Amino acid sequence: MTAIAYRRADIDGFNVFYREAGRVGAPKLLLLHGFPSAGHMFRDLIPKLSDRFHIVAPDLPGFGQSDLPDRGQFAYTFENIARVMARFTERIGFERFAVYVFDYGAPTGFRLALAHPERISAIISQNGNAYEEGLSDGWNPIRAYWQDASPANREALRALLSREATIWQYTHGVPEASAVSPDGYSLDDYYMNRPGAQEVQLDLFRDYRNNVALYPEFQAYFRTHRPRFLAVWGKNDPFFLPTGAEAFKRDLPQAVVRYFDTGHFALETHADEIAAAITEFLE
């Protein structure tokens, strides 16, 4: 059985919850989750890799068991989230590591790479986008909010935070929906309904435009530093298209791209296959 420790780190007064497994001294692997989830999305992946890697999976600020301070005390932007995560890696002694990025974890992890390229040994992107052609039409309501931050446009996005929308994210594009455990989306829905959590998510929808604005800088980082790169992509993702996965090859010709017949939350159905791809790639 895999021993997973559940820990908390004080990052300049901000409480970050994280999962840790594997042998200290083994190659380090940082797992960064996406919306609307938390580190529990890696519950199936961690045991399959912990015999080879020292793994840490934090809950991002405002997500899961990490602190959810009032919006007046903490500005919920991806820049601030990445700043906390950078300090977190320093706090736990991750001087150099491979990073697995998914969804919101991508702009967080790519910011870490921009700020500290010497720390990144490799990148695994699971439906973590860095190219405009990777954004589907599913982003149109959020794009409308970027262009006009009216109360009406903000309120229109609240439907994306419902239990039904979360379940849809997990099951859309999955050949057999009964293969998706309700555990993940039920826990996500619980966290989403904490006091203040939905307003935080609406703030992040608004701020996501700054991630898109940084795409040219992310791409320049890829060309300049040439990190080892693996894309493992649920090809039926309604938000991040396979063209976004292929686009990495434009700046990283040696990138490895693997597709799986599943949706956005590919680990729910293909944890075995993705673990095998990561092991082959990193070893």
Residue 258's SS3 state is strand
At which residue do the structure tokens 């979360």 appear?
166
Q: Residue 97's closest CA among 41, 22, 47, 42?
A: 22
Q: Between the CA atoms of 216, 264, 277 and 271, what dihedral angle is there, to the nearest 10 degrees? A: 150
Q: Residue 59's closest CA among 81, 76, 83?
A: 81
Burial of 278 (0-12, 13-18, 19+ CB in 10 A): buried
Contacts of residue 5, defined as CB under 8 A and 6 or more positions apart, other chains included, come to 19, 20, 21
Strands (E), the chain: 4-11, 14-21, 28-32, 54-58, 97-102, 120-126, 228-234, 256-260
Burial of 52 (0-12, 13-18, 19+ CB in 10 A): middle
Residue 135, beta-bridge partner list: 240
Contacts of residue 59, defined as CB under 8 A and 6 or more positions apart, other chains included, come to 16, 17, 18, 33, 38, 39, 65, 66
The catalytic residue among 54, 172, 264, 270 is: 264
Catalytic status, residue 40: no
Residues designated as active site: 264
